[in-house]
Amino acid sequence: MRSKIIVVNAGIVILVALLSYVLLATSLKNVVSDPAERKHEVERSLRAANAQLALDALRVERWLEKSITSEQTRGVFGLGTPEARQQAALNEANRLRDAAQGDEQFTGMAPSLVAIVDEQGVVVSRDGSNLMRGEKLSQAYPVLADALKSGRAGSSVWINRQRQEQLLVSYAIVKSESGAVIGAVVVGTPLNDERMTRTSELTSGSLLVFARSYDKGLEAVADSGGNHAQSAVSAATSAPVAAAAKSASSSKAIASVDSVIAGDLFGAMPLDGYGPTDSVLIAAVPASLVDGVASLLWPILAVGALGLLMVVFAGVLLGNYISQPVSELEDGLLAIINGQQDLRFQIEHDELGGLVFRINSLLNALAGVPEDTTDDQGRPSKAPSANDFQEPA
């Protein structure tokens, strides 16, 4: 009896647990590792990061345009001697740097370069030191020369290994009272891992890699590695990602990598808001939201195992509750068969109590013993009939 109860109930628990596991595994597989949805997540990450960087550039441009409208900035270029212009430019660059560092919109991207150049793109002075004075910055970065010619503010990516510069640069044009271009103010913010981490935190939280595309592949410039696996950062410059970056640069649109690399899906997008550039943004998201569906569903199996233990415990208790009085009945009947005719059963049981009473009644009938109809206090257990009150004739 006990084993049958345990086996039947254990089978039910196992069946329910396995069925729940299979059904949930099938349903969750499409949720946690849907390729189409994960690719959409890559695209959303790229668009958000690109928009954030473009917004940073636009904010710096607008801030510069407001900051250089004073006579103090234009006055730098009107001084008579080069030494006087250089000293005034140094003071003005320092003032602009300090103002930027105190502005909350520069939080996390404080300028590392503030330079004032003349109409030819020659550095008059930079902030904090006498370095770079007299350098023709427009020769190293032709985009600056184009901006001076057009008289329009703008932003660009300045990466020069020889000059050890890696900056996101914005510049505003300084004009005389007559409207002629007399110079420009250049503000460069760092392009490093911290900048990409800031961009990732402000947008999607996905892995972001800033890279330059060239004929042989990709050169990683900065990344938001942080908590992401180093393998994902390394995979961002692999051949499939480089091919996607090249496709994105030519089509001016997002290009995704179809295959999963190091457990991640990658996509690339050309950088917006910084003029013509060979720079691209790369984003990576996990191909699955969890390491595996099994790791997500193991509690179901754990609950199933707990259910089996409870079935065994309950089966033992239930089996004892039923089998013990049955065993007493079996032993008592065997004793009666062997000659103990006066044996009666005194078993109190919710389910078997009626059966015990009838067995005792049967034994009394077979032995010719009148049935005891009194209660525990010796009183009749049934009401007297009308014949009990009739007088004898």
Give helix then strand counts, H and E, for the chain. 11, 10
| Amino acid 240: pLDDT | 92
| Amino acid 163: pLDDT | 85
Cα distances (Å, whole numbers) of residue 91 to 50, 98, 127, 171: 34, 11, 8, 18
Bigger pLDDT: 317 vs 57? 57
Buried residues in 97-119 as b, exposed as e (16+ CB within 10 A): beebeeeeebeebebbbbbbbbb
Query: Which candidate, 116, 112, 111, places its Cα nearest to that of 137?
Result: 116
Q: How far apart are CA 197 and CA 26, in angstroms?
A: 36
| Amino acid 30: pLDDT | 64
Share of the chain above pLDDT 90, in %: 40
H or E element that contains 92: helix 82-101
Average of pLDDT values for 35-51? Answer: 91
Q: How far apart are CA 104 and CA 294, in angstroms?
A: 46
Query: Which candidate, 203, 206, 198, 195, places its Cα nearest to that of 169?
Result: 195
CA 47 to chain centre: 18
Average of pLDDT values for 273-288? Answer: 88
- What is the rounded average pLDDT for all residues in the chain? 84
Contact assessment for residue 198 and residue 186, using Cβ atoms and an 8 Å cutoff: no
pLDDT category of residue 72 using cuts at 50, 70 and 90: confident
Q: Would the pLDDT of 232 be above 60?
A: yes
pLDDT category of residue 201 using cuts at 50, 70 and 90: very high
CB neighbour class for 168 (10 Å; exposed up to 12, middle 13-18, buried from 19): buried
| DSSP labels, 12-81 | HHHHHHHHHHHHHHHHHHHHHS-HHHHHHHHHHHHHHHHHHHHHHHHHHHHHHHHHT-SHHHHHGGG-SS
Q: Would the pLDDT of 211 be above 90?
A: yes
Q: Would the pLDDT of 386 be above 60?
A: no
Task: Supply the pTM of this predicted model.
Answer: 0.69
Q: Which of 25-34, 104-113, 152-161, 216-225 has the lowest mean pLDDT?
A: 25-34
Q: How far apart are CA 38 and CA 204, in angstroms?
A: 13
pLDDT category of residue 1 using cuts at 50, 70 and 90: low
| Amino acid 209: pLDDT | 94
Please give the DSSP secondary-structure letter assigned to residue 122: B
Residue 224: Cβ within 10 Å count: 25
Bigger pLDDT: 11 vs 207? 207
158-197 tens-digit pLDDT: 998 888 899 999 999 998 888 899 999 999 999 999 999 9
CB neighbour class for 60 (10 Å; exposed up to 12, middle 13-18, buried from 19): buried
CA atoms 288, 294, 295, 301: torsion sign: positive
Contacts of 208 (CB under 8 A, 6+ apart): 45, 49, 196, 199, 200, 223, 224, 281, 282, 283
Q: How far apart are CA 293 and CA 80, in angstroms?
A: 75
Site of tokens 């409870």: 310
pLDDT category of residue 54 using cuts at 50, 70 and 90: very high
Q: How far apart are CA 57 and CA 33, in angstroms?
A: 36
Q: Is 198 helix (H, G, I), strand (E, B) or coil?
A: helix
Average of pLDDT values for 364-389? Answer: 61
Q: Which of 130-134, 183-187, 289-293 has the lowest mean pLDDT?
A: 289-293
Cα distances (Å, whole numbers) of residue 390 to 380, 381, 387: 19, 21, 5
| Amino acid 371: pLDDT | 64
Average of pLDDT values for 235-264? Answer: 90
pLDDT category of residue 73 using cuts at 50, 70 and 90: confident
Average of pLDDT values for 100-116? Answer: 90
Q: Is 180 helix (H, G, I), strand (E, B) or coil?
A: coil
